[in-house]
Structure 1
Amino acid sequence: MAPPSVRVAVALGALFGFAWAAAFRAYMSELAGPASKIDWFGTFGAIVLPGAIVGGLLGWAHALRMRGGRPGWRWLALAPLLFAVAPMFLPGALEALVTEGLGGGAVGVALLAIGGGFAISGRGPLWARIVCGVMSAVLLAGAAATALFLGRAALPGNEARGWWTLLLAASLLMILVLAASIPFRPVLTHAPAGLRPNGGPESGSSGRE
């Protein structure tokens, strides 16, 4: 299979990231219930736009990986940190995080994505991947289980809605982990010569890892 165009990969990644973030916002609305508020800055600026950017960066990582990598491309693994950084620009967000712990969920999503992506990548020390995998599994279980105990979908009395919300959260987070694993995965060394860094032959992992 020919490697995708970088522009196409970034555009598709941004589209997928937009859709993912919009769906995750629906999950958040279920937790908040009637108190949930859709606005331009809080919803689009702090959730949907960062989702599109993260998706675009991971799409870029996919295109680079298919071409054998390039110097520094692994730093794209930090793209999910934008989910933790963007909400900090909301008025009073930093104070609420420090004093009340509000907004910690965004930090948890970013850590889950990066840790889980590393855990399933197949690269790196086994012990480190196990530690990251356990941490991410705990975060995923906690995020999904909140659907059963918080907000308008909470059990008892609303079993179908609660389990739908749990499955929505779990599936979205697992998709995020899969996407976040891209920059951690081994490069494809069989890329055509014209698509390799500098257009030359492969020379091991130096400079691309």
Structure 2
Amino acid sequence: MRDAVVEPMPASAPHAAHPAAAAAIGALVGLTWAAALRAYMVTIAGPGSSFTWWTLIAILLPGAIAGACIGVAHARRARGRAWLLGFAPFAFTALTMLEPGALTALVTTGIGGGAIAVPAALVLGGFGLGTIGPRAARIPCLVLAVLLAAGFAAAVPLADGPAVAATTARGAWAILLAAGLLLTGMLGTALAFRRDRRA
């Protein structure tokens, strides 16, 4: 009696996620990440920080958009051009610059530069940690992203003077939060730049 032949399941099947579910989970994670980013901004801005409905549009909405896009790219295992969704963190740049006067302030004073630097660090770091593209290109991108994250964290004491000095509890917390946000953001974005090699 011959042994029955059993067709093996694709290696990626047990790990596959439905794009809609991945988008919902990604949106939730992205929204939470963006809320933490806003908490960091409150910390370094001090009493001068204010919340408006535009805060929800320019900070929280792009976080949800970026998270959803990265979730879909990950669910699709970056097949085809799904990895392009890894550029979704630049939604922060796009929506921030839509605020009246934001572009003028960026050009004349440099205020708002973080809306470009932070997404750039996430995308560079995500690409660097991914598996798409030659290693010779990924490594420099990862190094640049880590340098941006280090600079982002090191600049905390410059934001609000002695109140956020590295020697104070508030300053140390803000530095750790800044570095943690950038590094976890890179790890999350990397999901969009990782192709399932077993598929």
Q: In the alignment, what sits opposite 2:164?
A: 154
In structure 2, C-alpha distance between the alignment counterparts of 1:45 and 1:84, rounded to whole Å: 12
Which residue of 135, 140, 152 maps to 1:143?
152
Q: In the alignment, what sits opposite 2:57?
A: 45
Q: State the one-letter code of the partner of 2:165.
A: L
SS of the residue 2:76 aligns to: helix
* CA apart distance, 1:154: 1.9
CA contact (8 A) 1:80 1:110 kept: yes
In structure 2, C-alpha distance between the alignment counterparts of 1:77 and 1:135, rounded to whole Å: 17
Q: State the one-letter code of the partner of 1:58.
A: I
In structure 2, C-alpha distance between the alignment counterparts of 1:139 and 1:59, rounded to whole Å: 24
Aligned 1:22-33 pairs, distance under 5 A: 22-33=35-46
In structure 2, C-alpha distance between the alignment counterparts of 1:151 and 1:31, rounded to whole Å: 6
In structure 2, C-alpha distance between the alignment counterparts of 1:57 and 1:125, rounded to whole Å: 23
Q: In the alignment, what sits opposite 2:7?
A: none
Q: State the one-letter code of the partner of 2:164.
A: A
Q: Percent identity?
A: 44
User: What is the CA RMSD across the aligned residues, in angstroms?
Assistant: 1.6
Q: In the alignment, what sits opposite 2:49?
A: 36
* CA apart distance, 1:146: 2.0
**Which range is displaced more, 5-14 or 116-125?**
116-125
In structure 2, C-alpha distance between the alignment counterparts of 1:32 and 1:173, rounded to whole Å: 18
Q: In the alignment, what sits opposite 1:124?
A: 133
CA contact (8 A) 1:140 1:170 kept: yes
In structure 1, C-alpha distance between the alignment counterparts of 2:58 and 2:84, rounded to whole Å: 22
In structure 2, runs of 5+ residues without a counterpart are: 1-13
Aligned residue pairs, count? 185
Q: In the alignment, what sits opposite 2:10?
A: none
* CA apart distance, 1:188: 4.6
In structure 1, C-alpha distance between the alignment counterparts of 2:22 and 2:131, rounded to whole Å: 23
Give TM-score scaled by structure 1 length.
0.83
CA contact (8 A) 1:78 1:114 kept: yes
Q: State the one-letter code of the partner of 2:157.
A: L
Q: In the alignment, what sits opposite 2:101?
A: 92
- The alignment status of 1:4 with 2:32, answered yes or no, reads no
- The alignment status of 1:104 with 2:113, answered yes or no, reads yes
In structure 1, runs of 5+ residues without a counterpart are: 191-209
SS of the residue 1:181 aligns to: helix
Q: State the one-letter code of the partner of 1:32.
A: A
CA contact (8 A) 1:74 1:183 kept: yes
In structure 2, the CA distance between the partners of 1:74 and 1:122, relative to structure 1 (3 Å rule), is closer
